[in-house]
Amino acid sequence: MIYPWHEESWTRIAGNRETLHHGVLLTGQSGIGKPEFALALSERLLCQSAGRPSPDSCGQCQSCRLFGSGSHPDFHAITTEQNSAGARYPLLSQYSNRYQDSAERDRKTRHGRVINIDQVRLLIERFSTFSHISGTKVALIHPADRMNMNTANALLKLLEEPPDNSVLILVTSEPGRLPATIRSRCMGQPLAAPGRESALQWLAQFATAESGKTALHLAGGGPIGAKHLIDQGYLEQHEKYLSGIMGMYNHQTGAIDLAEQLAKLDFEIILKWFQRFVVDLVLWRVAGAEPYWSGQVAGNRKQESVEKLCGLYDKITGYRKISREPLNQQLAIEEMVFAFQRSLA
């Protein structure tokens, strides 16, 4: 599916597919629909109506039909366990299941957030065989920044010696996390993000104006990310989170109670939201930018210490960097909550 804000990028990239590099690095802000774009591009590259002048797939040929049903033999996709177990990307999950033991995955309560080396090795093996129906092979890796150094190095082989008539599409909102060796062997294709007004307008199909605004703010401006938050009930989680944080801000909730409340929510999401809260607080203090939660402040405004808030921001950044590794989340949350309390004193 091509979102309205991607039409220009679509014409530029899919309209010039004959000259497309064998390694494509699709980049752009998080939550704007990059995987959907990558899937549409893959479908187009495999479509058998080669002479079609339009950048769009025909939707009729054998290839297009197989692609949409999740069973195209020349298309390969790998993603994290977390993505393939979730409902956010149904087609991507279907294809990536060929690269995971889905029965074993579904038995787990916590799903991996990385792309592992076995997936990449298997991809290289399968990608090197002949193409079955389309004459072209396409592989998609999303999010490419979830490969560690060893995995990325294994993938280098594919970029250095690409099989004939093949395209490898890497998708990421954080290209800086990819090794330079990978980036330099791909052609970067940045995807546009919609402006705030267009994003809100698009979201109005799914939520009230108020929920749309909150979700867009929480998603960092990406409308697809915002819609996901709405669909998955994250706005309710956010309400719980915010009432806890505001309780402490208003000196009504103690640190231990707040840490307990936060520990029940998704750790990575909490880190993201808490970091944004700290940024909002600092911006309010130093630039007078009123945050969206200012209506919940009870009594007079607090005199937070900007210096201590900046220290807290760094602490959260540190945890975000290692949040995909095993760590004592309870302890981490307590540490952040106490630092927050000190910044308010």
Residues that bind Zn ion (CB under 5 A): 47, 49, 57-58, 61, 64
Nearer Cβ to Zn ion (43/334):
43
CB of 46 to Zn ion, least distance (A): 8
CB 74 within 8 A of CB 81: no
Query: What is the distance between the alpha carbons of residues 158 and 22, in angstroms, rounded to a whole number?
Result: 10
Apex CA 92: angle with CA 91 and CA 95, to 5°?
90
Query: What is the distance between the alpha carbons of residues 147 and 115, in angstroms, rounded to a whole number?
Result: 5
Partner residues linked to 137 by β-bridges? 166
Query: What is the distance between the alpha carbons of residues 36 and 186, in angstroms, rounded to a whole number?
Result: 20
Nearer Cβ to Zn ion (10/293):
10
For helices 234-249 and 329-344, the axis angle rounded to 10 degrees is 40
Query: What is the distance between the alpha carbons of residues 95 and 78, in angstroms, rounded to a whole number?
Result: 7
CB of 44 to Zn ion, least distance (A): 8
Nearer Cβ to Zn ion (132/177):
132
Nearer Cβ to Zn ion (57/341):
57
Nearer Cβ to Zn ion (133/192):
133
CB of 136 to Zn ion, least distance (A): 12
Nearer Cβ to Zn ion (58/117):
58
CB of 37 to Zn ion, least distance (A): 17
Half-sphere exposure in the Cβ direction for 209 (13 Å, CA):
2
CB of 141 to Zn ion, least distance (A): 23
CB of 165 to Zn ion, least distance (A): 16
CB of 58 to Zn ion, least distance (A): 4
Q: What is the rounded end-to-end Cα distance, in angstroms, of the chain?
A: 50
User: Could you tell me which of 188, 193, 191 has the C-alpha nearest to residue 220?
Assistant: 193
What backbone phi and psi angles, to 5 degrees, belong to 343? -70, -15
- Provide the residue type at 285 as one letter: R
Nearer Cβ to Zn ion (52/321):
52
Half-sphere exposure in the Cβ direction for 140 (13 Å, CA):
28
